[in-house]
């Protein structure tokens, strides 16, 4: 089997004395996509923060492209190709859309041209300042900026939160397009379980800091009992 892009082994992590994740192991294959589901406060964001090295890691190892990065700084993880899009929209308010994008650029597939093809709205708004954008456009810009760093893995923390349904659809379509090219792997933390499962190959459900379920996203979409038990999502039979 090919080496996983990212492998977490028996992770225990949290903040100071508070342990949030315990015994978490997972593999992400190159170009794979993983949905991270679970109720509020179970540790989904903490999982992404741990991958980036922003939490207190008590046990376990993290390997990236076969190399142990457990003790690597967050900055170096980002440089090594792990792109993180936090929940808070992270753009420069007083720079234009285009400046926001070029300031982050590193060589690779994602350039102004390919990013604008993915988010045509950003091309229309290229001369607007960050603070003149709608919430949806800011979210697109946050993702596009991270893409411009040409990461091998993109960690997305609730990208659809607070967006109008039509904008959420537009962003979902961009996420599908982005991962279809097999250029990037994806970890998607999302409250909208049905959408997250439709955008990914595999899924985990976190419950009280541990992985309560893992498997193909398609199978989980059909497993109404698990969705109801762990996420409180009631789907019609
Ligand atoms: N910086 C922090 N310091 C201390 N505790 C924290 C910190 N950030 C989060 N927590 C706690 O860690 C637990 C998990 O939070 P986390 O944000 O990872 O959950 P989540 O599943 O992403 O939830 P949500 O969907 O609400 O974002 C919560 O109990 C939360 O209060």
List Cα–Cα distances, 117 to 80, 81, 114, 174, 179, in angstroms.
25, 22, 5, 10, 14
What's the maximum distance between 2 C-alpha atoms anywhere in the chain? 49
* Whole-number Å distance between alpha carbons of 109 and 125: 22
Q: What contacts 194, CB < 8 A, 6 or more positions away?
A: 221, 233, 235
Place of tokens 């390997």: 63
Model-level pTM? Answer: 0.94
Q: Edge to edge, what strands does the sheet with 56-64 contain? A: 18-28, 6-15, 56-64, 67-68
236 Cα–ligand 1 center, Å: 31
| 46 C-alpha to ligand 1 centroid (Å) | 6
Question: What radius of gyration, in Å, describes the C-alpha atoms of the chain?
Answer: 17
Residue with tokens 């009992």: 225
For position 81, what pLDDT does the model report?
97
Tens-level pLDDT at each residue, the chain (237 residues): 578 999 999 999 999 999 999 999 999 999 999 999 999 999 999 999 999 999 999 999 999 999 999 999 999 999 999 999 998 888 899 999 999 999 989 999 999 999 999 999 999 999 999 889 999 999 999 999 999 999 999 999 999 998 999 999 999 999 999 988 888 999 999 988 999 999 999 999 999 999 999 999 999 999 888 888 878 777 666
Rounded Cα distance between 237 and 9, Å, is 36
- SS3 annotation, 113-127: HHHHHHCHHHHHCCC
Half-sphere exposure of 237 (CA within 13 A, CB side): 1
Indicate whether residue 150 lines ligand 1 (CB < 6 A): no
CB–CB of 92/37 below 8 Å?
A: no
**Measured in angstroms, how far is the CA atom of residue 15 from the centroid of ligand 1?**
9
User: What pLDDT shows up at residue 21?
Assistant: 98
Structural domains of the chain, ranges and CATH numbers in brackets: 6-81+152-231 (3.40.50.300)
Distance CA 37, CA 213 (A): 10
Q: Is the CB of 17 under 6 A from ligand 1?
A: no
* Chain centroid, CA 121 distance in Å: 21
Tokens read off for 206: 């976190």
């Amino acid at each position: 089997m090919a080496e996983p892009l990212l492998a977490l082994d028996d992770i225990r992590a949290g903040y100071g004395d508070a342990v949030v994740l315990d015994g978490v192991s997972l593999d992400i294959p190159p170009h794979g996509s993983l949905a991270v589901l679970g109720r509020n406060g179970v540790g989904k964001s903490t999982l992404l923060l741990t991958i980036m090295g922003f939490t207190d890691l008590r046990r376990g190892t993290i390997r990236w492209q076969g190399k142990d990065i457990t003790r690597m700084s967050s900055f170096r993880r980002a440089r090594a190709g792990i792109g993180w899009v936090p929940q808070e929209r992270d753009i420069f308010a007083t720079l234009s859309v285009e400046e926001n994008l070029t300031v982050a650029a590193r060589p690779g597939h994602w350039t102004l041209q390919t990013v604008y093809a993915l988010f045509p709205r950003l091309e229309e708004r290229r001369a607007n300042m960050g603070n003149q954008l709608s919430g949806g456009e800011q979210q697109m810009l946050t993702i596009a900026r991270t893409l411009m760093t040409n990461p091998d893995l993109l960690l997305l923390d609730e990208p659809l939160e607070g967006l109008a349904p039509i904008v959420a659809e537009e962003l979902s379509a961009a996420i599908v397009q982005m991962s279809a090219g097999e250029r990037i792997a994806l970890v998607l933390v999302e409250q909208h379980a049905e959408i997250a499962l439709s955008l990914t190959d595999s899924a985990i459900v976190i419950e009280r800091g541990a992985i309560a379920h893992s498997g193909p996203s398609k199978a989980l979409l059909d497993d109404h009992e698990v969705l109801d038990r762990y996420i409180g999502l009631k789907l019609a039979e």
